[in-house]
């Protein structure tokens, strides 16, 4: 399911009833619809934007509704609420589309201004075709509209030799403690019964990393997430206990799903494995305790992720970095276990979601480049590993530091019985430098994460 988003600027005049002088008015609007905009249907959309009326109002947080129905109802209606001079006003108007005057009727928006039910003004806005058409058309986006919940039900369909993971990492903003919850189903390649297992770990600022394992227990095939050995994951909720760990968390997704690997590889499991985030970011509330420590989480940032495939890579690194302001960086770099592919350099899947846009646009770009040219590169190592890469006009450098004292090493087995080792830190450091080329490389953004990066390096 895709939505529609676009921006539109309109200019015009307004006459407030109390005053006879006409004032200039400008609307800079961003419209978002949950569905694809189809001209022969009616598409409702949410409006946000800025309303400026000369000498009267400048509200950058105007909100409202848009009804786009140029053919079915021959009407494009704008209803926008904004504040002017401390008064809450509503602009209500519509373009009345007619085949007799197609251009005029699609660009002229007569409107009335209300304060409550009382009419306080009237005016006309015009879409400036000469200067506004190109930005308007280029602004059209059709983003997917997915709910994070639909990615939580188990993918495993009974085939032997598969593994499926629900893992959640978060950082308690109060104490700085990193938390890692790993839930896994393993269907051994030898056809024996699948089992559920996992672990929970805490990465406090001070003191040693603690962890506890749960399972293995037989997989009971729940419908909506993970369940086993008193540990459950369902959309929006994580509960369980293992050893002296107890947790009961609620998860609030904060963004669209983020596919670290190409989306198709999640839908059709053609790659050895694929990872994705049902929501690029999430916040967590609830209780998390271990030993003597009890954390009360309030708006703790983090994310849940999903993995499905044949097993772990030959070598891999992973980073989830909360960059603030809704931005997030997700990296998986891996060397395949397959003979032949094992000799290739690591494939890097890097996704930077910034201001609602994901860079690079396609996940394949970072892994493959153009037939290998310009692919992103990873240099494995511990405690430091790096990823670098560039597209036409932007480049990134990511340096991750997983200090040994804040890193937890765990062993487990893949479906084929091979031993895998992961070295994980939910309180890693990271330095991310983003640059943009404009005559020369100019810094665009730099992020320093001090103990809040979630990272892992592993091998088998």
Which residues make up the interface to another protein (CB under 8 A)? Answer: 40-42, 69, 72-75, 92-94, 96, 110-112, 119, 122, 124
| Residue 383 preceded by cis peptide, ω within 30 | yes
Minimum distance from residue 121 beta carbon to another protein (Å): 9
Q: Smaller CB distance to another protein: residue 40 or 343?
A: 40
Q: Smaller CB distance to another protein: residue 111 or 266?
A: 111
Which residue, 65, 66, 62, 64, is CA-closest to 82? 62
Residues in the chain: 460
Buried b (16+ CB within 10 A) or exposed e, 353-388: bbeeebbbeebbbbbbbeeeeebbebebebbebbbb
Q: Smaller CB distance to another protein: residue 79 or 175?
A: 79
Q: Smaller CB distance to another protein: residue 69 or 304?
A: 69
Q: Smaller CB distance to another protein: residue 99 or 223?
A: 99
String of DSSP letters for 170-212 = EE-TTT--EEEEEEEEEE-TT-PPPEEEEEEEEE-SSS--EEE
What is the Cα–Cα distance from 211 to 180, expressed in whole angstroms?
9
Q: Smaller CB distance to another protein: residue 13 or 175?
A: 13
Both tokens assigned to 46: 């949410």
Q: Smaller CB distance to another protein: residue 27 or 233?
A: 27
Both tokens assigned to 94: 């519509």
Minimum distance from residue 310 beta carbon to another protein (Å): 48
| Residue 79 preceded by cis peptide, ω within 30 | no
How far is the CA of 159 from the CAs of 61, 89, 90, 154, 167, in angstroms?
A: 52, 60, 58, 13, 21
Residue 76 in contact with residue 94, Cβ under 8 Å?
yes
Q: Smaller CB distance to another protein: residue 74 or 354?
A: 74
What is the Cα–Cα distance from 416 to 314, expressed in whole angstroms?
13
How far from chain centre, in Å, is Cα 202? Answer: 24
Minimum distance from residue 73 beta carbon to another protein (Å): 5
Minimum distance from residue 410 beta carbon to another protein (Å): 57
Minimum distance from residue 133 beta carbon to another protein (Å): 24
Minimum distance from residue 37 beta carbon to another protein (Å): 14
Minimum distance from residue 2 beta carbon to another protein (Å): 20
Mark residue 259 as left, alpha or beta (left: phi above 0; alpha: psi -120 to 50; beta: remaining): beta
What is the Cα–Cα distance from 187 to 190, expressed in whole angstroms?
8
What is the Cα–Cα distance from 294 to 288, expressed in whole angstroms?
6
Give the DSSP H/E element, type plus range, for residue 129. Answer: helix 129-138
Q: Smaller CB distance to another protein: residue 47 or 333?
A: 47
Q: Smaller CB distance to another protein: residue 116 or 299?
A: 116
How far from chain centre, in Å, is Cα 256? Answer: 5
Minimum distance from residue 301 beta carbon to another protein (Å): 43
Minimum distance from residue 141 beta carbon to another protein (Å): 24
Minimum distance from residue 99 beta carbon to another protein (Å): 14
Which residue, 148, 209, 146, 220, is CA-closest to 183? 220
């Amino acid at each position: 399911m895709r939505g529609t988003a676009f921006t539109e600027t309109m200019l015009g005049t307004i006459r407030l009833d109390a005053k006879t002088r006409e004032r200039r008015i400008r609307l800079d609007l961003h419209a978002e619809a949950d569905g694809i905009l189809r001209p022969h249907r009616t598409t409702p959309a949410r409006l946000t934007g800025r309303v400026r009326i000369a000498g009267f109002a400048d509200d950058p947080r105007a909100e409202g509704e848009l009804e786009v129905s140029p053919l079915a109802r021959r009407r494009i209606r704008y209803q926008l609420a904004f504040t002017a001079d401390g008064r809450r006003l509503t602009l209500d108007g519509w373009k009345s589309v007619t085949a007799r005057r197609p251009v005029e009727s699609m660009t002229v928006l007569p409107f009335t201004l209300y304060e409550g039910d009382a009419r306080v003004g009237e005016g006309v806005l015009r879409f400036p075709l000469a200067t506004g058409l190109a930005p308007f058309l280029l602004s059209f986006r059709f983003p997917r509209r997915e709910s994070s919940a639909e990615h939580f039900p188990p993918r495993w369909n009974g085939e032997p030799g598969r593994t499926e993971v629900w893992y959640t990492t978060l950082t308690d903003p109060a104490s700085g403690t990193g938390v890692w919850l790993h839930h896994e189903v393993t269907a051994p390649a030898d056809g024996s019964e699948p089992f559920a297992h996992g672990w929970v770990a805490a990465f406090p600022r001070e003191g040693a990393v603690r962890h506890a394992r749960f399972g293995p227990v037989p997989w009971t095939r729940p419908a909506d997430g993970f369940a086993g050995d008193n540990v459950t994951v369902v959309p929006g909720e994580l509960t369980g206990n293992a050893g002296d760990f107890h947790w009961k968390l609620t998860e609030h997704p904060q963004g669209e799903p983020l596919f670290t690997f190409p989306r198709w590889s999640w839908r059709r499991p053609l790659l050895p494995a694929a990872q994705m985030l049902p929501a690029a970011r999430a916040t967590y509330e609830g209780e998390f305790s271990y030993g003597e420590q009890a954390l009360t989480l309030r708006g703790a940032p983090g994310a849940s992720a999903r993995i499905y495939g044949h097993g772990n890579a030959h070598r891999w690194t992973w980073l989830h970095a909360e960059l603030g302001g809704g931005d997030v960086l997700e990296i998986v770099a891996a060397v395949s276990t397959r003979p032949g592919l094992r000799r290739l350099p690591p494939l890097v899947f890097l996704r930077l979601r910034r201001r609602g846009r994901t860079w690079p646009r396609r996940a394949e770009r970072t892994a493959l480049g153009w037939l290998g040219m310009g692919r992103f590169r990873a240099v494995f190592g511990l405690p430091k590993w790096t990823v670098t890469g560039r597209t036409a006009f932007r480049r990134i450098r990511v340096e991750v530091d997983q200090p040994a004292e804040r890193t937890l090493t765990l062993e487990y087995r893949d479906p084929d019985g091979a031993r895998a080792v992961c070295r994980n830190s939910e309180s890693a450091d990271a330095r991310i430098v983003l640059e943009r080329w404009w005559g020369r490389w100019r810094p665009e953004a730099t992020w320093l994460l001090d103990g809040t990066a979630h990272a892992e390096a592993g091998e088998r």
